[in-house]
Amino acid sequence: MRVKLKKGYQQKLIEEYKNSNKLSWTSLAKKLNVSRATINSWYNEKYLLPSNIFQIFDKNKLFKKYIEYKKKNNWGQSKGGINSPGSTITVSQYNKNPELAEFFGILLGDGNILHRKNKKIGVYMIRIAGDAEKDKDFLCNYTTNLIKKLFNLNVKTYIRENTLYLIIHSINLVKIMKSLGFPAGKKINNQVTIPPWIFNDTKNLKACLRGLIDTDGSIYELKKGYLQLNFTNRNRKLLEDTRKGFKKLGFKISQISGYQIYLTRQAEIGKFYKEIGFSNLKHKNRYIQFTAL
Each residue of 213-270: pLDDT tens digit?
A: 999 999 999 888 789 999 999 999 999 999 999 999 999 999 999 999 999 999 999 9
Same domain, residue pair 232 and 217: yes
What pLDDT is recorded for position 288? 92
* pLDDT for residue 85: 43
Q: What are phi and psi of 268, to 5 degrees?
A: -70, -40
6 and 40 co-located in one domain: yes
pLDDT at 222: 86
pLDDT in tens, 127-166: 999 999 999 999 999 999 999 999 988 899 999 888 999 9
Domain co-membership, 202 together with 282? yes
Q: Report the mean per-residue pLDDT for the chain.
A: 87
Least confident of 5-19, 64-78, 142-156, 260-274: 64-78
pLDDT at 82: 39
Looking at the structure, tell me whether residues 130 and 203 fall in a common domain. no
Q: What's the pLDDT score for residue 98?
A: 97
The answer to whether residues 96 and 52 belong to one domain is no
Same domain, 185 and 91: yes
Residue 278's domain is classified under what CATH number?
Answer: 3.10.28.10
Query: pLDDT at position 76, please?
Result: 37
Number of domains comprising the chain: 3
Reply yes or no on whether the pLDDT at 49 is more than 80: yes
Task: Determine the pLDDT at residue 34.
Answer: 79
Q: Residue 28: which CATH number?
A: 1.10.260
Q: Is the pLDDT of residue 119 over 60?
A: no
Q: Check whether residue 14 and residue 60 sit in a common domain.
A: yes
Least confident of 67-76, 146-155, 171-180, 199-208: 67-76
For residues 276-286, average pLDDT: 95
Same domain, 76 and 156: no
Mean pLDDT of all residues in 30-34: 83
* pLDDT at residue 78, rounded to an integer: 36
Q: Which domain holds residue 140?
A: 86-190
Residues 102 and 159 in one domain: yes
